[in-house]
Amino acid sequence: MTFDIIDFNIREGVATITLNRPDKLNSFNQWMAYDVHTALDHCMENPEIRCVVITGAGRAFCAGQDLEEAIAADAASIEEHVEMKYNPLVRKIRAIKKPVIAAVNGVAAGAGANLAYCCDIIVAAESAKFIQSFINIGLIPDTGGTYFLPRMVGIHKAAELMMLGEKMTAQEGKDLGIIYRVFPDAEFINGTTELAKRMAQMPTKGLGLIKKALNMSLNHDLDQQLEVERDLQGRAGRTHDNAEGINAFLEKRKPVFRGE
Ligand code: T3D
């Protein structure tokens, strides 16, 4: 597959989507959004892909909405813009039955920060910064930010980040439990690649079911979630990889998961 505004490649079960407008800090224009939507659809459908990585080219991860495009657009169409461009990104990332890693190589601002937050695992380069920059231009957080952030860090920390629009360092994000690993900048690519390859060798169906259970837990009470666990465990228990995992344990060997 070839794209205009993003780079997309598949290696060893890992699909990497690289946002590629580095001179504009990979801010989202409509063409880049179209490319990312198409790439995510492909990741959803292609069984060879067992892990997805989203990252940015150059010194930024993503600076959110392209403000030159925004100023040129009709203000009355903002709702449509959000519905067509950003909401499907969040829905697709949460619906893909495979792990999605946000590999935050540099600054992540506005919708760029919230794009990272809706992924399953977030890793960051030491120099990366996260900014809920919406309020700095009089907007409110979108791209799922008002849903995920308060659930991740609590309502007061979310309010602080969203209302003050200040930079958060990668290390602060790790201390808050948002970020899994902060790599020294020079080790970022290798560290991310190693993690993604590792996840692409894991029981993919099981990972997808964990994701489904987590999606549902955000709005469920305990009894509802116990029922979800029962049903999804039944599905996990009928996968090839569950049988392989148990056999490998009993035979004292390393399991070879096929993602089936
Ligand atoms: O309308 C709707 O659709 C509603 C939806 C909104 C969703 C949103 O995401 S709203 C939030 C939009 N994003 C921002 O407000 C962030 C704007 N950018 C910044 O605050 C700063 O650029 C950063 C803090 C991210 C980085 O600062 P710094 O000093 O490292 O870089 P810089 O010099 O500001 O930017 C470098 C270049 O990228 C510069 O271009 P130039 O002068 O070299 O030609 C700058 O204009 C450009 N750039 C950065 N961000 C954007 C951008 N160009 C267009 N849109 C951007 N968002």
pLDDT digits (tens, 9 = 90+) for 206-218: 999 999 999 999 9
pLDDT band at residue 74 using 50, 70 and 90 as cut-offs: confident
Establish whether residue 92 lines the binding site of ligand 1, counting it when its CB lies within 6 angstroms of any ligand atom: no
User: What is the pLDDT, as a whole number, of residue 100?
Assistant: 98
Pick the residue whose CA is nearest to atom 52 on ligand 1: 24
Residue among 25, 81, 129 whose CB has most ligand 1 atoms within 8 A, to mutate: 25
Give me the percent of the chain exceeding a pLDDT of 70: 100
Please tell me the chain's helix, strand, coil percentages from 3-state DSSP, rounded to the nearest 5: 55, 15, 30
Tell me which residue has its CA closest to atom 22 in ligand 1. Answer: 63
Per-residue pLDDT band at 162 (split at 50, 70, 90) = very high
Whether the predicted pLDDT of 54 surpasses 80: yes
Report the separation in Å between the CA atom of 27 and the middle of ligand 1, taken as the mean of its atom positions.
Answer: 7
Residue 73, pLDDT above cutoff 90:
no
Question: What average pLDDT score do residues 42-70 get?
Answer: 97
Q: Is the CB of 24 under 6 A from ligand 1?
A: yes
Model confidence at 21, in pLDDT bands (50, 70, 90)?
very high
Task: Kindly tell me if the per-residue pLDDT of 203 is higher than 90.
Answer: yes
Cα distances (Å, whole numbers) of residue 32 to 52, 90, 97, 203: 17, 15, 23, 31
Atom number in ligand 1 closest to CA 131: 24
CA of 137 to the centre of ligand 1 (A): 11
pLDDT band at 3 (very low <50, low <70, confident <90, very high): very high
Q: Is 70 in the pocket of ligand 1 (CB under 6 A)?
A: yes
How many A from CA of 25 to the centre of ligand 1? 7
CA distances from 190 to 54, 196, 260 (A): 15, 10, 27
Could you give the CA distance from residue 235 to residue 233 in angstroms, rounded to a whole number?
Answer: 5
pLDDT at 132 over 80: yes
* Average pLDDT of span 68-83: 88
In degrees and rounded to multiples of 5, residue 62 shows phi and psi of: -170, 130
Cα 74 to ligand 1 centre (Å):
19
Burial 192-219 (b: 16+ CB within 10 A, else e): bbebbeebbbbbbbbbbbebbbeeeeee
> Whole-number mean pLDDT of the chain?
97
The predicted structure's pLDDT at residue 75: 73
Whether pLDDT at 76 is above 80: no
pLDDT of residue 151: 96
- Supply 241's token pair: 């990889």
pLDDT on residue 111: 98
Q: Is the CB of 110 under 6 A from ligand 1?
A: yes
